[in-house]
Copies of this chain bind each other. A is one copy, B any other.
Amino acid sequence: MCRWAAYLGEAIFLEEIVTAPSHSLIVQSRDAREAKSPTNADGFGLAWYGGRPEPGLYRDILPAWSDPNLKSLCQQIRSGLFLAHVRASTGGGTSRMNCHPFISGRWSFMHNGQIHGFERIRRGLENSLSDAVYDRRSGSTDSELFFLLMIDEGLSRDPHGAATRAANRVLDASRRAGLDPALKLTAAFSDGKALHAVRYATDDHAPTLYTSAFGRGRCIVSEPFDREGGEWQTIPPSSFVTIARDGMVVRPFTPALAELALAS
């Protein structure tokens, strides 16, 4: 499991979220409160949008707290839309290719969660990718593969539908492998315009997700980075959140139900 934070709004220095708050993402890399493990030190990453349609990407394998480059970048870079992540591996070695966010074209994606039994369904899911998307696979995590499945399912046209269909491909593959489908998915992704997030699990323990206004913008995070200042709102499980310049919309996210409806 991991910790992450994302922001959309008026451009701010990344440090205002990543390093400066009392319970910043950097602090969470060492001492998270609501994560399965307090330590999230298997690498980190930033994707931010600025002067180009495609995001910048900075990832490394050190613990976030011990990288002076990260601190300097967060002090210098100002962005109106960014994603930041600290990783606790649930499988997949510690390498830059396995660090979040992942990017593809204009899209960025990061994840806290896990596909249970991934090693048993990985090959089938990889085989199911279209050629164009298969070639973008560079690491070995379940998270990157989920992102690629979403791209395959039409992420750029229909983010909500693509995430739903990707989740269903995972659940189907689990069933076909004789597994009890078990997916935890608390993810954020963006095309440089809107910021989407999803909170979902097949059981009652979907990883936490919070949002709050932040200056002239809005944050969405794994856990609050500042107990004092923020007015944090819990996003309920089975939600799909879209934050745009003009506001936030929360919709149901119910892959299994969608599938049941389809089957009936």
Contact = CB atoms under 8 A, between A and B. Distances in A.
B62 A94 contact: yes
B93 A119 contact: no
B60 A63 contact: no
Given A123-B131, A127-B127, A94 B76 contact: no
B96 A68 contact: yes
B58 A73 contact: yes
B66 A48 contact: no
A77 B49 CA distance: 11
Interface string A120-164: 001100010001001100101000000000000000000000000
A69 interface: yes
B95 A76 contact: no
Interface string A38-74: 1101100000101110111111111100111100110
Contacts of A78: 50-51
B61 A66 contact: yes
B95 A95 contact: yes
Contacts of A56: 72-73, 75-77
Closest 3 interchain pairs by CB? A56-B76, A66-B94, A57-B72
